Chain A
Amino acid sequence: MRRAIVTTTATAAGVVLLLSLKPHGGQTASAQAPVISSGSDTGSTTGTGGTSGTGGTDNSGSGSSATTAPSASPSAKGGGSSSGKASHASYTGQAVDTRYGPVQVRIDVSAGKISKIDVLQYPDGLQRDQDINSYALPVLNQEALSAQSAQIDSVSGATYTSDGYTQSLQSALDQAGLK
């Protein structure tokens, strides 16, 4: 049984190079699946989102006028929308009840773009729920942020598809006057 252990210091190119030396195909995966060490090659690409602001990150929505979800909370309309281009501002979304408990997010907007999303409340009744939410909600968070990153186009993940998260986020976006 052959296994390739990649050290955590390997660069991305190094990972590809090392592993390209391994025999490919022709064998079933279970016995000699290569091992990718955790956190080895992607730390530098995750970014913090929204800070690069270089080409290809146009988030003005000017070309896309598709309407936002009709379920956006009406109570969030109003305040702040007239100053959607304010350089720095925070908007707290409505707390939304889900069957697992309340969910509430806050967004920071900088130069007309989301610079940060914080989850202020999420269900934590059961340990299992806590485990799930502690990473699943930030996965959606990352997805929202990464949409403004020039480095990653999209993120695949097993999302805990919380209506509460997206509804609260939508209400914060509405307040910020962002699409």
Chain B
Amino acid sequence: MTTRHAEHVMGTVFSFVVRDPSPAVDEALRAAVDRLHAIDARFSPYRADSEVSRIARGESELADASPELAEVMERCAEIGTLTDGWFSAYPEGRLDPSGWVKGWAVEQACALLCEAGSTEHCVNGGGDVQSVGGPWRIGVADPFRPGGLAAVLAGRDLVVATSGTAERGAHIVDPRTGEAPTGLLSLTLVSSGPGLLARTDACATAAFAMGAEQGLAWAGRQPGLEALAILPDPALPKRATNGFLRYAL
């Protein structure tokens, strides 16, 4: 028996697949959904009353931020360092840590399910996936074929994050120039292990901004990360790091 749930939150759809439901796990699923809405209420840059929006408008100081936001800002700064500045909590000059928060929210949902005893679940936050247990089969959307898949990945504890031109607005701009990157349609990063989605997602955002050559090369140097790049011309082949193929079916 499998429990599935889709929740509209953070301007996208979060979907849950739980292969080992129980009363405790079902209760944790409800708690996870509540948690997603609570995270959205605090961190959404689209909600005028969120803490992030209040700080972005200058109505309160980052120095007085909640411990939760302060920790998110620390993590964003770490990814900024790791990516040589290609990731920023200020992607368009205005506070917007969404590039970290969405993946982190998925991690939190998984953690709640784990605490309730689930060892087999998969949570997808708007196209970014953290799985626990498995093996799981995760498709990578093909930007050229609506509804089609560019690749299928399989494994245990799979973590898959994709950044692309479809992800409009704040996240995908070169934080150095404020301009949208060119040369890539989407970039997918895959890793394996618990609690890795926020980092993987943020790295995907940064590697996408770097562009095909630099992004793939950078991802290839990161321990535990593998990459698939889809270029803007359908005649051009997809490109991947060598280790990516370990996950590909």
User: Which residues on A are within 8 Å of B, measured CB to CB?
Assistant: 5, 12, 15-16, 19-20, 22-25, 27-30, 32-39, 41-43, 45-46, 56-59, 61, 63-69, 71-72, 132, 134-147, 151-161, 163, 166-167, 170, 179
Contacts and interface: CB of A to CB of B under 8 A. Distances in A.
Contacts of B186: 157-158
Contacts of B5: 61, 64, 66, 179
A66 B35 CA distance: 12
B182 to A, nearest CB: 13
B33 interface: yes
Nearest to B185: A158
B129 interface: yes
Interface of B: 1-13, 15-19, 21, 26, 29-30, 33, 122, 124, 126-129, 131, 136-152, 160-168, 186, 188, 213-214, 216-217, 219-221, 227-229, 234, 237-246, 248-249
A20 to B, nearest CB: 7
Given A33-B241, A46-B148, A69-B9, A156 B161 contact: yes
A17 B248 CA distance: 11
Nearest to A138: B146
A152 B78 CA distance: 33
Given A64-B16, A138-B146, A33 B128 contact: no
Nearest to B123: A154
A65 to B, nearest CB: 7
